[in-house]
Chains A and B, each alone.
Chain A
């Protein structure tokens, strides 16, 4: 989402909405004020495979937006966070132990609470499937055929009662 520009006509330039609570909501998910330690060195960018192919995805910039409180850009529908490959290179490289990938995952958690995730990611479908069947992949006729051919026992249905209770 682009910054609000309703002040432009008054000659004050564009207005940007800052959400000072945003960092704190992320802290609860990643367990600590990790992003506060980011000094914008860019070590997370050099080995980021997503940045290599999608320059608009930049973990350093995402950390900066978290620090500033540009919440809408990160949790809105145009958020770049789903371009992350979850490779953990940034986690390894960060000299400040910011764990950028974990911050990005926490941002995704906030998006999920609003019901926003890209259709291609099929997050909702996958979670529903795990709750219904206990697995991320459906047992098909092909599964049965392959297992029989290899001398493996058939897969039994997973009991999901406990799963549903612990996630209520």
Chain B
């Protein structure tokens, strides 16, 4: 892979990862070049904007801000990759809706014209996991591993917005996805599917008790699967699994709730020879002692 011409993509960092979880951004920046992906930073991006609250406030405003972000990538002549499922949902839906609906596109472009921008619909949007699978290939990911994560059991949380709506996201079968299982297996680790794998993290539900009940159910299912870590690709889900898990363990006085959530690209970094500190795993609330032996292994 490294001998070939690198594949260039515009990097859409979003808000939560660079601001709250920069360890995930660091993992992306340190692992993709080893897979032959060139990360291009473009000035001018704003919040995607978020697919729950901003979209609930005013859908047309939401599409307009998203179209402006896509126009920034179009001006640079590059396709985009995202690192958060929420950003992926917003930008993918905007791309699909504006390209399918001429009137809506015109309405949005009238607003963009005020700042000299135009949405044309020429830059595609992919979540970084999809870019790796489709543009790099699972075999090339395996070839970049210098420290196989053998015997590591990784429960996988796909989350909702990476996969659904499937006709827009075009990532995998939402009822039986394999993309993350395959990427985990490429690291030498064992993907584990727990009973509640399809359950939502519940973050958007504004009920007093329901979201924590959902999370408790989900985390008990992860614990029952005896996984060493919980692999995620979305910073919103991560918040629920890291800080949220700590809170639930105290609330229910349940010591079994201790499966550390890890962003997939942190695991990839570890397998590629980076230290725990280099991928920022020491900053997580729920610690991951199971990963220490891999970090200590010779490269």
Contacts and interface: CB of A to CB of B under 8 A. Distances in A.
Interface of A: 29, 31, 47, 49-50, 52-54, 57, 82-89, 91-92, 99, 105-106, 108-109, 112, 117-118, 120-124, 126-127, 130, 134-140, 143, 146-147, 149-152, 155, 158-163, 165-168
21 contacts: A31-B104, A49-B200, A49-B202, A49-B205, A85-B203, A85-B205, A85-B211, A87-B200, A89-B160, A92-B175, A121-B56, A127-B54, A135-B15, A136-B15, A136-B50, A143-B20, A147-B22, A149-B280, A150-B280, A166-B65, A167-B61
Contact of B65 (A117, A121, A163): A163
B20 A137 contact: yes
Nearest to A119: B206
Contacts of A50: 205, 207, 210
A136 B16 contact: yes
Interface of B: 15-16, 18-20, 22-23, 25-26, 29, 44-47, 49-61, 64-65, 68, 97, 101, 104, 111-112, 114-115, 117, 160-161, 164-166, 174-175, 198-200, 202-207, 209-211, 213-214, 278, 280, 283
Nearest to A156: B43
Contact of A49 (B19, B57, B199): B199
A146 B26 CA distance: 10
Contacts of B53: 121-123, 126-127
A126 B104 CA distance: 25
A135 B202 contact: no
Nearest to B202: A85
Given A89-B164, A162-B68, A152 B61 contact: no
B82 to A, nearest CB: 15
> Which 4 pairs of residues, A with B, have the shortest CB-CB distance?
A88-B164, A108-B56, A53-B210, A87-B200
A130 B56 contact: no
B161 A88 contact: yes
Contacts of B165: 88, 91-92, 99
Contacts of A117: 56-57
B213 A53 contact: yes
Contacts of B198: 47
B55 A105 contact: yes
B118 to A, nearest CB: 12
B15 A150 contact: no
Nearest to B20: A137
A112 B57 contact: yes
B204 A84 contact: yes
B64 A82 contact: no
B51 A130 contact: no
A154 B104 CA distance: 37
A143 B203 CA distance: 22
A103 B175 CA distance: 23
User: Which of B19, B68, B211, B214 neighbours the largest number of chain A CB atoms within 10 Å of its CB?
Assistant: B19
Contact of B160 (A87, A140, A160, A165): A87
Contacts of A84: 204-205
